[in-house]
Homo-oligomer: A and B are copies of this chain.
Amino acid sequence: MAEIKFEIRESLGTLSESAKGWNKELNLVSWNNRDPKYDIREWDPQHEKMGKGITLSKEELKALKDILNSVEL
């Protein structure tokens, strides 16, 4: 089976915790030794298993921040 190498460079915060203990987190993650990208994803408590998620560039994350600050939640 193919292997994905990853390294969490920076943990920025937790969005939520599921009943089974997994956390939805915003991290700065390097995938396969490439430049790190911002990443929203679910992780098990040991950060060994991961769920599906998305990666975002710094520009996309800044745009997202501006959107969130301009709408009523």
- Residues of chain A whose beta carbon lies under 8 Å from any beta carbon of chain B: 12-16, 24, 26, 40-41, 52-54, 56-71, 73
Chain multiplicity (copies)? 2
Could you tell me the distance between the alpha carbons of A46 and B7 in the complex, rounded to whole angstroms?
36
Partner of A54, one of B14, B52, B57: B52
Nearest CB of B to A31, in Å? 15
Cβ B67 vs Cβ A12 within 8 A = yes
Pairs A–B under 8 Å by Cβ, sample size 20: A12-B71, A13-B64, A13-B71, A14-B63, A15-B56, A15-B60, A16-B57, A16-B63, A41-B54, A52-B52, A53-B54, A58-B73, A61-B68, A62-B73, A64-B64, A64-B68, A65-B68, A65-B69, A65-B73, A68-B68
